Amino acid sequence: MIERAAPATIRDVADRAGVSTATVSRVLAGIGNPKPDTAAAVVRAVQELGYRPSGVARSLRMKRTRTLGLIVTDIQNPFFPELVQAADSAARGLNYSIILGSAAYDEHRAMHYLDLMVDRRVDGLIIASSQLSDESWQWLLASPVPVVVVNAEPNGLPVPVITSDNVGGTRLAVDHLVGLGHRRIAYIRGYEGFTADLPRVEGFRRACADAGIPVSDIVEIRGDGQFEGGERATAELLASGTDVTAIVCHNDVTAIGAMRAIRAAGKHVPRDISVVGCDDIAAAAWVVPALTTVAQQKAEMGTLAVEWLAAALDDPEHAGLAETIRIPMILRVRESTGPAPA
Amino acid sequence: MIERAAPATIRDVADRAGVSTATVSRVLAGIGNPKPDTAAAVVRAVQELGYRPSGVARSLRMKRTRTLGLIVTDIQNPFFPELVQAADSAARGLNYSIILGSAAYDEHRAMHYLDLMVDRRVDGLIIASSQLSDESWQWLLASPVPVVVVNAEPNGLPVPVITSDNVGGTRLAVDHLVGLGHRRIAYIRGYEGFTADLPRVEGFRRACADAGIPVSDIVEIRGDGQFEGGERATAELLASGTDVTAIVCHNDVTAIGAMRAIRAAGKHVPRDISVVGCDDIAAAAWVVPALTTVAQQKAEMGTLAVEWLAAALDDPEHAGLAETIRIPMILRVRESTGPAPA
DNA sequence: GTCCCGCACGCAATCGATTACGGCCATTTC
DNA sequence: GAAATGGCCGTAATCGATTGCGTGCGGGAC
């Protein structure tokens, strides 16, 4: 294997400018006040050589990589790209950069990225994935790298958590439907083990109870958080003859699947059955009828996570307070909900 | 700012095991054949200390980061996540990891990531973005880091390119429609300057010509590659009274927008107008009617790009051949196309 | 008992940056 | 004219790993 042309080093610059590496470093960092001649010589040498400082060497010396790791459940799940983009923008603003890992719903992959990022010496970690095993969590909490969890709630671990107010969010959906006269409502749950599943169904139950809807009038079905799960669950629901007038879904993708099943059964949304999703992915506004949904503030979550980490890195005291931040969700009424049929 | 607990170094391990750092390094790398006692002592020390080698230090010494940079047009564009996932999987298999940059359609952001990745000393770069300026290209080609371009075609630059056969793909769409009896067909173009725009419209024109459709029977409108552009362009088309029986779109998102506009105009897909998209994003199968589309083999493109780079890194000769690989596209017939109205 | 050979391991240089410390020279002050 | 002061800049240590080269020890052959 042949050597590729080696990039210029600070030594090369120093030699060409006729100064020491220390001076080059100082000029580039803007430390001290060098003689104008010296500074100019350095700058010229840098340009002539096309010198770019090695982040690797700098990281080694500084013991900081100015890099944040972000592990998401699945980048192909339309929920995440917006969060990733926002986190990345926030990081850029604070002079960090993000390295991304997509677990693709696989625990092994999640742990692989965890190892990778720790080995790469990221300064902090954002975990937006429920794919981590308990041992991984233990290990992570014992490790020196600051962690913040997004959109998941590891059971009772002393970790800062940034998540949506899932309970309140589902309540928004139910209240909206109840306001439209619905009383018989189904809930399609997400993948079992997905951390948002429990709080959302809990919010659904509580909101129904508060609205005076008897337990016998509600029905819960297990989906999988994917299109197919929503379609299948709804098809079974309709085939079983249970007559609900509205369906609340764990997320938008499920809801879109549900709408397709409803149409396939010859019924109309929202005339016969209203459907509400959750997340507010782009496709929610594209489908016909456009999906009424409870929006998660994904960008805010990504931004907050990065800002929290950056603050913790500047001031480790800050890392002490492992509070849980719940970001409110927002009801977006579109076309998939309407008055309950008489 | 307080120091965080420092991770164990190879020095710590060596001291605890009573050997030199050289031995620790060799045992961990499986080089030479150490005495069983020695090896055991090292392994034990590693476990007791929870030692993880610093990728930063290793990269500095090895002059290789085993990292590949991947710059995409926009991670929020549903086309890219699948490509990213595939590239990442392929990279993992070859013991590389990917660092991602999403340009968000912004030239400055794209160049920012370029700088970032070069500074981080990635071993190679995959550019899946048309956002780079000409100077950036010049600079990139002069730099020592191997580059492969995906899904874009920098005008005549000596760079390996992996792209879909856009011309052939649009032809598939047109042939499908012609086979269904359509003669008056509209084409909604993508964002001006997007590299796939030209070859696709070119393929459209040639296929129409070959099918004997006179130029007067086809119409081209400018979209923007987004939902809104497809919706607007189609609304204008319908309002203008031009009567086409089919619309071919630059991509799926545009097509989904087009379908919404058609429905809003009181027409039916595919009874009145057939619609064909391009890309085959997940949402194409979700909408009603499900979108007929020409699929890009996104995963293959991602995988190929990584494999090409890895090969070029092992054998710089390989980097010499800057060929263009065109991956065939695949027609997926769903529900949005049907026989031309009489 | 001596010599030699080879194996397992340690020493130390190296990668490319940052920065504490100290030296040199010019200027000011008496 | 000598001493004191201060501004620039160079020397060298350091970050944590890898690896060429050399050393010492043990065993086998005579």
Q: Cβ of residue B10 near strand D, that is under 7 Å?
A: yes
DSSP A323: -
Q: Cβ of residue B29 near strand D, that is under 7 Å?
A: yes
Which tens digit of pLDDT belongs to each residue from A151-163?
887 777 788 999 9
CB-based contact B56:A60 (threshold 8 Å): yes
Where are the strands (E) in A156-272, listed by range?
Answer: 161-164, 185-189, 218-222, 246-249
List the 127-186 stretch of A: residues with Cβ below 8 A of B. Answer: 143-146
* Sheet-wide strand order for B330-332: B218-222, B185-189, B246-249, B274-279, B292-295, B330-332
Under the banding of pLDDT at 50, 70 and 90, the label for residue A130 is: confident
State residue A74's pLDDT score: 94
Q: Cβ of residue A144 near strand D, that is under 7 Å?
A: no
Under the banding of pLDDT at 50, 70 and 90, the label for residue A4 is: low
Residue B22 to residue B43: CA distance in whole angstroms: 14
| Nearest nucleotide to A36, CA against C1' atoms | D8
| Nearest nucleotide to A7, CA against C1' atoms | C16
Most A CBs within 10 Å, among B56, B92, B106, B122, to test the A interface: B56
**For A77, nearest residue in chain B (alpha carbons):** B81
Which tens digit of pLDDT belongs to each residue from B273-302?
999 999 999 999 999 999 999 999 999 999
Under the banding of pLDDT at 50, 70 and 90, the label for residue A133 is: confident
CB-based contact A262:A234 (threshold 8 Å): yes
Which tens digit of pLDDT belongs to each residue from A165-181?
999 999 999 999 999 99
Interface size A-B, in CB pairs within 8 Å, comes to 134
Q: Cβ of residue B21 near strand D, that is under 7 Å?
A: yes
Q: Say yes or no to pLDDT of A3 above 50.
A: no
pLDDT: which is higher, B156 or A128: A128
State residue A192's pLDDT score: 85
State residue B192's pLDDT score: 85
Q: Does B266 touch chain A (CB under 8 A)?
A: no
Chain B residues with CB under 8 Å of A143 CB are: 50
Q: What is the mean pLDDT of residues A96-103?
A: 95
Distance from CA of A335 to the nearest CA of B (A): 13
Whether residue A121 and residue B227 make contact (CB cut-off 8 A), yes or no, is no
State residue A321's pLDDT score: 66
Question: A21-29 and A10-17 are packed helices; what angle lies between their axes, rounded to 10 degrees?
Answer: 100
Q: Say yes or no to pLDDT of B206 above 60.
A: yes
Q: Cβ of residue A226 near strand C, that is under 7 Å?
A: no
Considering the entire predicted model, what is its pTM?
Answer: 0.92
State residue B193's pLDDT score: 79
Residues 49-88 of B with CB under 7 A from strand C: 57, 60-61, 63
Q: Does A31 touch chain B (CB under 8 A)?
A: no
pLDDT: which is higher, B2 or A67: A67
Q: Does B104 touch chain A (CB under 8 A)?
A: yes
Handedness of CA B126, B130, B135, B136 (dihedral sign): negative
State residue A5's pLDDT score: 73
Which tens digit of pLDDT belongs to each residue from B57-94?
999 999 999 999 999 999 999 999 999 999 999 999 99
**For B7, nearest residue in chain A (alpha carbons):** A144
Residue A24 to residue A47: CA distance in whole angstroms: 13
Percent of chain B with pLDDT over 90: 80
* Candidate from A55, A99, A144 with C-beta closest to B121: A55
Percent of chain A with pLDDT over 70: 97
CB-proximal positions of chain D, under 7 Å: 7-12, 14-20
Highest mean pLDDT among A32-46, B28-42, B248-262: B248-262
Q: Does B46 touch chain A (CB under 8 A)?
A: no
CB-based contact A68:A97 (threshold 8 Å): yes
Whether residue A1 and residue B263 make contact (CB cut-off 8 A), yes or no, is no
CA torsion, points A316, A318, A322, A325, in degrees to nearest 10? -140
CB-based contact B238:B265 (threshold 8 Å): yes
Q: Mapping DSSP to helix (H, G, I), strand (E, B) and coil, where does residue B40 land? A: helix
Q: Does B35 touch chain A (CB under 8 A)?
A: no
**For B77, nearest residue in chain A (alpha carbons):** A81
Residue B26 to residue A25: CA distance in whole angstroms: 34
Distance from CA of B38 to the nearest CA of A (A): 24
Residues 49-108 of A with CB under 7 A from strand C: 51-54, 56-58, 60-62
Which tens digit of pLDDT belongs to each residue from B90-128?
999 999 999 999 999 999 999 999 999 999 999 999 999
Record the tokens describing residue B21, joined without a space: 């750092």
List the 272-301 stretch of B: residues with Cβ below 8 A of A. Answer: 282-283, 285-288
B96-119 burial code (b ≥16 CB/10 A, e <16): bbbbbbbbbbeeebbbbbbebbbb
* Candidate from A2, A76, A118 with C-beta closest to B82: A76
State residue B341's pLDDT score: 94
CB-based contact B51:B90 (threshold 8 Å): no
Tell me how many degrees the CA angle A93-A74-A234 measures, rounded to the nearest 5: 130
Distance from CA of A210 to the nearest CA of B (A): 34
| Residue B270 preceded by cis peptide, ω within 30 | yes
Output the average pLDDT for chain A.
Answer: 93
**For B262, nearest residue in chain A (alpha carbons):** A288
Chain B residues with CB under 8 Å of A100 CB are: 99-100
Whether residue B286 and residue A227 make contact (CB cut-off 8 A), yes or no, is yes
* Candidate from A56, A78, A116 with C-beta closest to B97: A116
Most B CBs within 10 Å, among A56, A73, A95, A121, to test the B interface: A56
List the 299-318 stretch of A: residues with Cβ below 8 A of B. Answer: 314-317
- Of residues B23, B21, B56, B22, the one with CA closest to residue B37: B23
Distance from CA of B82 to the nearest CA of A (A): 6
CB-based contact B102:B124 (threshold 8 Å): no
State residue B244's pLDDT score: 94
Under the banding of pLDDT at 50, 70 and 90, the label for residue B3 is: very low
